[in-house]
Every structure is written in structure tokens, then in C-alpha cells.
Chain A
């Protein structure tokens, strides 16, 4: 809804707008309306919010040129910043709130806006959530323009399109949709556009909130958008035929459509030698399964299937369980919750105290629980393995949600033993199977089955073999090589 500049309003608008602006900026302590005398002729009104703008640049770009100017038009004397027209009073208000300085041009009788936003933000830092040893060390920050720059540097092509949207009635958050035109399946773009346009909420403080509004399934623990603050991961995804959403004031970009397997893959997989990367990836999948099923399996064995334990191991189990007051289920549940408490606390605590926490946690979980007869030694060992295995999954959101699945399996195991665990697994797989991310199946390329994409699934095949883009994304350009278009 772009309002047209109405020349008829010209005459009366100068003073009228000033009054209206004054009224709007009433009770805003940091709003300033300054009258600036320009040497000889008339004065110029500057309207801005001083906390939003950069005062030094105000001085450099507006005040000093105005002082030096000799009756030139306003727009001609402001040379080192972009000057834009203000077309309506609403536009004026919006621009002020975005860090513009408004000035009135009494000669031409019009209002001009100069963007002098204070670039408050942090420097480019290495990613804290997804660390890699090799690979680029920069990460996104809260400034969306900087983030786009990082992507543009990695993909210096004109087909990398950026479309911006503004969402949130209070937060007025800027959302930028990025994709490579002519490569991505256009369905994704139109679907994403449609979904973003229909978002209606007041505040968006992080990209995950946006994800909650545009994802296909709300009642699930699995994220349908990959959140990452790594520009290289985003660029790779764009190149594969996915789209990326950047949200202002959030260092996390959203990538879609993703599959379940993306949550277990790490950007570093593509930087290592392929056998090594494949091995690591297999270990990650393995540890995903282990961390999910190990404690339930222990509960199933100790509650129902003592026959399955080999005799030497049975000695250990009997010995360690025989003095405990709790059932295996209660023991397992108790320990899982304790571990979660410690994990959660270590996140929220200031870094200086976290060492204390580590010691206390280690003692509580490791030794005291056993000695006080709260948990068996075997369980502590399993607990330790599964807790560490959890951290092998690179996506932190999944790590958190997996605990819920673990508890679900634990309950089923305590009811029905091994068949219970399998029932739980069937349920989880059926659920995953029915999920979609931006309309695309979540378990691709397994179901639906795309055999060709398997060289980048459980193993990470040699890059020279990955000649095509993933088939399940149905990209417009299938080949990664230039020659085969």
C-alpha cells in the first residue's frame, strides 16, 4: 500500500505536519524536533529520535552541510546519505521509528527523510551454537543487512533474490526471504510468501517464533525449520534449492524445506574427507538411536526380560539393583529428570558458577546417587553414555525434544518391555513420516524413496559424486555442474 505523493497537500502540509508530528511524539522523551537556521534564509526543522540515530553522522551528513550550504536545495546539499521523500504522515511516523531524520524543505515545501540509523550491534563472531573446527568462523548477528551481506558474499549472483516482509503489529519485524531464482522449486517460494503474508501476531523476537506461525504442524516436537546462525550452512542450503528466511534482530536464519536427517547432519560434514565424514555421520545416527533407546532398553531388560542378559552381566545387574528401593522405571525416570535439571541449570547459570555446578552435578549423579542407593551403577553408566550421545546431535532443538521421546519410550518400555519400545518406535516413525516441512515430506529421501539422494544421507559420499542436487527438493536446475544445464 504505497501512498502516492499528493502535490495538492503541499501548501498546508508544512505546518500541519509539524503539529501532527509534535502530537505523535508527545511524551517521548527522546524525540527531538530541532529548528536549524540555515545561514541566511529560512530555518529547517529536524525531527528524529535521538536514541535511534547516530548523532555523529547527523552532524556529518546534515548539520555541517546545511551550515556550509549557500541556499542550495536541501536534497542537493546532503550528499553522503540517501535522501528519500516522505509521502504521508504515516510514512513520516514510520520513518522516524526506523531511525530516519526527517527534515522539511521549505523551498520546495516538502519533507525529506535521511536514514541515519545507529548501527548498534556486535561484531561478527564465531558461532556459539554450531561450532566447527574447520570451515568458516563467522556467524549471523542481529543486524539483518549484515547477515544478507554475508550471504551475498558467498553467492555473488544476481539470481539470489531477497524479498522483504514486515510482520508483527508491535515489533514491525523485518523478514527477508532469500532464494536462488531459477534454481529453487517456485512452489516453495510462493508457499512461503503466502504463509508469511498470513502471519498475524504482535511481536516477533526470534526467528523461531516466526517458524511457529508458518510451520505445517504445530503439535510435534520436531522442528520443521532448521535454525542456524552459520552463513555457510545457509549458502549451501540455498545452493541446494532450499530457501532461507532472515529475521531482523535474530541471529538465527530459518532454512526450509528440511528433512529429519538435516537435524543430525552438521555443516562440517562437507569439509572433512568423505570416509571420515561418513563415519562421523554414522556415529551421530548411532548415538541418536542409542540415546533414545538405551535407558528404555535397560528398563525393559530389568523389568521383563532378564532372560536376555548374559550371565556375567546378570551378576553385575543383580548386584547393583538388589539394594535399590525404586523400580527400574522410577530409577530411570528419576535419573533422566535429574540430568535435565542439571543440564538446564548449567545453561541458565552465569558462566563463573557453572564450574561449581559441574562438580556438584558430577558428584550427585555419579557417586552419591549410587552410594545413597538411589540408582544403580549400571544405570549411571548408561545414563552417562546416553547423555553424551545426546550432545552428538548437532541440532540443539532436537536434543531438547528427544528427552521427551525418551521418556515416552521409557513409559512404554515399563509397560510392555521390548515390544513396547518397538511400538513407541513405530509411533515415532509414523509420526515423523506424516510430518511435512513447507509441504515436503519430512522423511525424504527414505519415504518417499529417492535412491539417488542416499549418497548424502547416512553416509556423506564423495563430493565429486554429488553431481546432482537433492531430488526430493525438485530443483529447477538438476545438475550442480555448469556444463550440464
Chain B
């Protein structure tokens, strides 16, 4: 077995990376289906409220980033929780990451499938996306984390194209009324959870602290990154409400995608093809980071932390993901209830870990310090 230095680090990444990382990790599959879950125009407040709560959560996490345990990585976790607990956490994390990668990939593939290649076998698309993610991930943790800048530059401009929807002739501001919630149902609660879960991406940063710099100034960048995400969510949501009206909106499965297809220029039509393709930068970044986390978690519970990371190890974790995605696609995703179940599961788990992990880490550090 040849060793592969996936987790080496030569330099730590500075504060601005937190901005990009937080922002990009909050933009994945969920932003594309977000309007369907929110529907009512007043749910824009849900985005704001949840965004602000997420802000608080990130502040809590920034305490963790600056703590001495975080910088030590695996050893720090051992000191905080002990070996047994860390292993249990690793197994949990292993499963959670597996689920997240699968749903993110399946969701995006679904998008590609329904817009660009409606008659292609989905397995091909899954394979292609995972292959390119493996390629990115094989350059190691540090390079992959740095790749976020490219993902940001190649993906963030998409939002700008949605600004013209605010100025369309049939976009009336009256479509946004009522502005305050007039009725509250289970669906609205779900919308709240959904947004919370959508903002949960940066929680994985908690485990990447050794590669990131941990000076005091990072909380500023965390806040700005989160702010950017909130703005993107609001912009896209309001644009979609203006474009569809909330009654029509709930009948559309990929509102953002269809809005993209409405954009037309004199040289090219169906801009959605380009937008959806370029959105891949985001996914590939997300999937490759999660792939590395997944392999890391696998190493912890297989008790291989002392050995060097290997190519076989990375490849086999990649295979696990590939197989699990295909099985999930076959068994669950292709039926409507199965797909709903998977999405709900991801919403709940995403929301829960975003609630729990920062609190657990925060209290654990506080407890150790007081001891």
C-alpha cells in the first residue's frame, strides 16, 4: 500500500477562507429547492431569523476555532472526550456524512437529469460527478480547502443573473403580500427547519481547524460569509416569489432551475444549462471536502489514526459512497415517498447537528477550562 499524504499541512489558511468556506458550504442542493419549502412570501423572515440564529451559532463555533483543543485536531478531541466517545462520534459522523454526500449528489444529479439529460441513465452522471470529486479530493485536504476560492469565483456569479427578475413587467410587488405570517402550519415549521438545515454546512468546519488559522479575527469573516448566504437566499427566494407568485410556486419542483431557463439572451437561450453546469463547482467542492471528512471519520473508527493515509483507503471510502448512492437511488430516491423521506431525514439530521455540535463543543471546552 502506497501512502498518500492527504492530511498534510504546509501552511494554515487565513481568515478570508472562512468567508468563502461558510458561504459555499451553505449553498448546495437545498438552495435550489428552497422556494418550494418556503412558498409564502412572509417566509422571507424565516430566512432572516434563521440566518441570524446561524450567526449566533457561528459565533459559538468561533470560540471553538480559537480554542487550543481545536488546533490540535484529533488529539484535541481525544483530550476533550476520551477515546471511546470519539470513536462513537466518528461512527455517527461517518453515517451522517454518508447521508449528506448521497443526498447532495442525488439532488444535483436529479437536477442534471431533469433539465439537461432527461433520457440518460442517472448512474453515469453520479459516476462522473464522483470521479471529478475524487480527483479534487486526491490533492489533499489543504488543496481542497483552498479550492473553495475557485468554487466561489465560479459559482457565486450565478446569483447575479437572477437580479433582472425583480424588474420584469409582470413582477408586481403585490405578489409579496402579505408580509407577515397570517397562518402557521406544520409546513411552516418544516420550512424553518429546512432553512436551518440549509445553513448547517459550516458545521463541518469544526473538524478542519488544524488546516485553518485560528486567530481572533475570524469571527468577522464567519459573519460576513453567513451574511452573504442570507442575502443570496433572500435574493433567490424573493425573485422566485415575484416570478411565480406563491400559489404557482408550490407546484414547481425546481423553481430556480426553471427561472434560469426563462433567461434569454440574443446569442444564447436556455441559460439554465450553463447555470446548472457551473453550479457543479459548488457540489464538487462540497463532495470532495465531505469525502475527505468521510475517510477521516472512517480512519478514526477503524483505529488507523496512527498509520498514514493511503490511496486504497481513499479509494475504498469513495467506493462506499458510490455504492451507497446507487443503492439509495435504486431503493428510495426514485419513488416520491422515498425521496421525501430521505430529504426529511437530511433536513432533520442537518438541523440537529447544527444545533448540537457547536453547543457540545462549546460546553466541552468551557468545562475543561474550568476544571
Direct contact of A and B (CB under 8 A): yes
Compute how far the CA of A421 lies from the CA of B154 in the bound complex, rounded to whole angstroms: 13
Q: A419 to B150, Cβ gap below 8 A?
A: no
Answer yes or no: B33 CB below 8 A from chain A CBs: no
Within 8 A of B (CB), among A310-334: 310, 313
**Residue A423 interfacial (CB < 8 Å):** yes
B269–A307 touching, CB < 8 Å: yes
Across the interface, do A423 and B273 meet the contact criterion of CB distance under 8 Å? no
Interface membership of B281, Cβ < 8 A: yes
Binds A, one of B35-43, B132-140, B182-190, B316-324: B132-140
Evaluate contact between A433 and B278: CB separation under 8 angstroms.
Answer: no
Asked whether A423 lies within 8 Å of B280 as measured between CB atoms, the reply is yes
Q: Specify the chain A residue showing the minimal Cβ separation from B261.
A: A307
Q: Tell me the residues in window 439-461 of chain A with beta carbons closer than 8 Å to chain B beta carbons.
A: 441, 443, 446-449, 451
Residue from A307, A423, A430 with most neighbouring chain B CB atoms (10 Å): A430
Residues of A contacting B280 in the complex (Cβ-Cβ under 8 angstroms): 419, 422-423, 426
| Minimum CB distance partner of A420 in chain B | B128
Residues of chain A contacted by B147 (CB below 8 angstroms):
429-430, 433, 447
> Residue A426 contacts which of B20, B112, B146, B284 (CB distance < 8 angstroms)?
B284
Q: Is the CB of A210 closer than 8 A to any CB of chain B?
A: no
Interface of A is mostly: helix
A418 to B115, CA, bound (A): 12
Q: Point out the residues of chain B lying under 8 angstroms from A418, CB to CB.
A: 116, 273-274, 277
B269 touches A309 (CB 8 A): yes
Give the size range of A's interface with the partner: 20 to 34
Q: Which A residues lie within 8 Å of B273 (CB)?
A: 305, 307-308, 417-418
| Cβ-defined contact, B132 with A423, below 8 A | yes
Whether a CB of chain B sits under 8 angstroms from the CB of A123 is: no
Closest CB in chain B relative to A184 CB, distance in Å: 19
Q: Collect the chain A residues with CB atoms within 8 Å of residue B116's CB.
A: 304-305, 417-419
Asked if A427 is at the interface (CB within 8 A of a chain B CB), the reply is yes
Q: A446 touching B267 by the CB < 8 A rule? A: no
* B179: min CB distance to chain A, Å: 38
Q: Flag whether B17 is at the interface (Cβ < 8 A).
A: yes
Tell me the complex Cα distance, A65–B266, Å: 85
Asked whether, in the complex, the Cβ of A449 is within 8 Å of the Cβ of B17, the reply is: yes
CA distance A307 to B260 in the complex (A): 14
User: Main SS of the interface on chain B?
Assistant: helix
Q: Counting CB contacts under 8 A, is A124 at the interface?
A: no
In Å, the complex CA distance between A443 and B139 comes to 14
- A201 CB to closest chain B CB, in angstroms? 27
Q: With A and B bound together, what is the CA distance between A416 and B154 in angstroms? A: 19
- Chain B residues closer than 8 Å to A448, beta-carbon distance: 11, 13-14, 146, 149
**Contact A449/B281 with A419-B116, A433-B143 known, Cβ cut-off 8 Å:** no
B276 partner residues in chain A, CB cutoff 8 A:
419
- In the bound complex, do residue B13 and residue A419 qualify as a contact, i.e. CB atoms below 8 Å apart? no
Complex Cα gap A287–B112 (Å): 29
CA distance A320 to B291 in the complex (A): 46
- B277 adjacent to A308 (CB under 8 Å): no
Mark A359-396 against chain B: 1 for CB-CB distance below 8 A, else 0.
Answer: 00000000000000000000000000000000000000
A434: chain B residues within 8 A (beta carbon): 139, 143
Q: Is the CB of A449 within 8 A of B150?
A: no
- Contact A308 to B268, CB < 8 A, known contacts A418-B116, A434-B143: yes
Q: Name the one of A430, A441, A443 contacting B136, with C-beta atoms under 8 angstroms.
A: A430
Q: Judging by beta carbons under 8 Å apart, are B136 and A308 in contact?
A: no
For residue B161, CB closer than 8 A to chain A, the reply is no
Contact B17 A310 (CB under 8 A): no
Question: In the complex the two chains form, what is the Cα distance from A122 to B13 in whole Å?
Answer: 50
> A307's closest neighbor in chain B, by CB?
B270
Q: B132, A446: Cβ atoms under 8 Å? A: no
Alpha-carbon separation in the docked complex, A304 to B284 (Å): 23
> B276-315 vs A: 1/0 string, CB under 8 Å?
1110110010000000000000000000000000000000
- Given A307-B270, A419-B128, A449-B20, 5 further pairs, Cβ under 8 A: A422-B278, A422-B280, A423-B128, A426-B132, A430-B132
Tell me the A residues contacting B by CB distance below 8 Å. 304-305, 307-310, 313, 416-423, 425-427, 429-430, 433-434, 441, 443, 446-449, 451
